[in-house]
Structure 1
C-alpha cells in the first residue's frame, strides 16, 4: 500500500526526509514551469490571433509597432527531455529504502503532475520496481486513457508484480471490456490474487462473457490435469446478475 507524505516522514530518517523534501520541491517546480509555459503559449497564440484578425479587418491600415510574437521554448514535458526530478525517481530506493520506494516515487509523480512523456519515459526506461510505481500511480494523474499502452504492456509480461499493479483502479476505469476480461484471466494464469483486480465485483457483475471465459479456462485446466486457480470460483460467482 502506498504511504502518504506524513507516514513517510514518520518512517524516514533525517537524511532521507531531507532528500525527499528536495526531490518533491524539484517536482513541484517542474509542474509550475509547465503551467507557466502553457500560459505563455496561450497568450502568444491569442496575440497572434488578434494581429491576424486586425489585418483581415483592415488590410491596408498600418499596424501599431509591436514586438515579435514568440512561442515559449520551454521543453518541459518533451518526449526527449528529462526533468531533474526524474533522476530522483530512479534513486528513491537508494536514498529512502526499498521498502518506501514505491511511495516515494508515487509522490514524485503526483507532485510533478507528471505528463504522459515523463510517465512513459520512466516506465520504459525503468526497472521492474520503477515500472510498478508508475502503474500504481496512474489513477492519481490527470492522463485520461492515454497511459493505457503502459497497462497493456505490463499485462503482456509474466511478472506478477507488474500484473498486480496493472489491474488497479486505472485499469478498472479505462480498460475496455474485452481487455479487462483478459486481464482477469491473466491474474488467474500467473497466480496473482483476483483480489488485486480493482472493482472486480462491479465490473464482473452480470458479465456473461467473462463467466464463459472463466468456465472455459477451468475446463482446460481440468482436462490437462492441472489445478484450477482458487480465485476462479470467486470471480465466477461475481459474474452472477444482480438481484
Structure 2
C-alpha cells in the first residue's frame, strides 16, 4: 500500500538530537481519533518500533499518573523520537499521553518541564484529553513563542473550540507574521466566516506590507476570502425578508 506523502514543515530536532521531520499527511495527531491514530502509526512503523510502542502504551495504561519524581510514561515520551523515528514521534507521544490518561495537571507538568518536542505533543493531545478550557494557558504560552512548530500545534482543534475571538484573530495574524501555513489552523473556515474584525486586521496588515514594498502572503488572501459572508442565492430571501 502506498503511504501518503509527508507534509511540509520546518525541521527541528527531537529530544535525542535527531532531526525531527513532519508527521505524514493525514496523521496530524490532534485531528485523528487515538484509536485511528494508533492503527495508522502501527502500519508505518517497523516491527521493532511497533513492539516498543505497544509496550509503552500498555505500560502507560497500567501505570497512569505519577509514580515517584517522574512517571514511567514520561520517560517513554523522551524515547519516542529515537524508538519510532522523528517522522512519527509526535503521534507516538500523543498516544502515550492518551494511554496514561494524562489530565490537565499532568499535561501542564510535561509542558513546563519537557523539551519542545514534548510540548508539541502535549498541545496535540489537548483535544483528546481536556474537555474544557482549563488548558488554555498552554496554548497561550505556545502562541507567545517564536517556535513555528509549537505555534502550529497550538492551533489545533482545542484552540478552535476554546480560544476567544480576540485571541484567535491574533493567532491567525501570528501565522502570517511567522510563515506558519494557515492550513495548521483547525476549523479556520468556520471561525473566519463573516468575521469583519478579522477582515479589517488582515486588510491593515496587507496595506502595511504593500506600503513597505513587501509581498503580501498568499495565505492572507485565502483567509480574507473566508471572512466574506456567504452570499444569498438568487431568488432567496435576504436578511430583511427581501429577495436578493
TM-score category, normalised to shorter length = 0.7 to 0.9
Larger Rg: 1
Counterpart-to-counterpart distance in 2, 1:11 and 1:212: 44
**With structure 2 as the length reference, what TM-score do the two structures score?**
0.76
Matches of residues 40-79 of structure 1 in structure 2 within 5 Å?
A: 76=65
Matches of residues 114-153 of structure 1 in structure 2 within 5 Å?
A: 114-153=102-141
How far 1:127 sits from its partner (Å)? 1.9
Residue in structure 2 matched with residue 40 of structure 1 by the alignment: none
Q: Is the 8 A contact 2:104 2:130 kept in 1?
A: no
Q: Is the 8 A contact 2:80 2:93 kept in 1?
A: yes
Counterpart-to-counterpart distance in 2, 1:4 and 1:242: 34
Q: Is the 8 A contact 1:85 1:108 kept in 2?
A: yes
1:18 is aligned to 2:6: no
1:229 is aligned to 2:235: no
Between 1:172-181 and 1:139-148, the stretch displaced more is 139-148
Q: Is the 8 A contact 1:193 1:231 kept in 2?
A: yes
Residue in structure 2 matched with residue 56 of structure 1 by the alignment: none
Q: Is the 8 A contact 1:164 1:196 kept in 2?
A: yes
Counterpart-to-counterpart distance in 1, 2:53 and 2:201: 46
How far 1:19 sits from its partner (Å)? 1.8
Q: Is the 8 A contact 1:211 1:236 kept in 2?
A: yes
Residue in structure 2 matched with residue 9 of structure 1 by the alignment: 42
Which has a greater percent of helix?
1
Q: Point out where structure 2 has 5 or more consecutive residues left out of the alignment.
A: 1-26, 30-35, 232-244
Q: Point out where structure 1 has 5 or more consecutive residues left out of the alignment.
A: 32-75
Matches of residues 177-188 of structure 1 in structure 2 within 5 Å?
A: 177-188=165-176
Residue in structure 2 matched with residue 92 of structure 1 by the alignment: 80
Give the root-mean-square deviation of aligned CA atoms: 1.8
How far 1:125 sits from its partner (Å)? 1.9
Q: Secondary structure at the match of 2:139?
A: helix
Q: 1:208 aligns with which of 182, 191, 196?
A: 196
How far 1:116 sits from its partner (Å)? 1.2
Q: How many residues end up aligned between the 2 structures?
A: 198
Counterpart-to-counterpart distance in 1, 2:130 and 2:66: 14
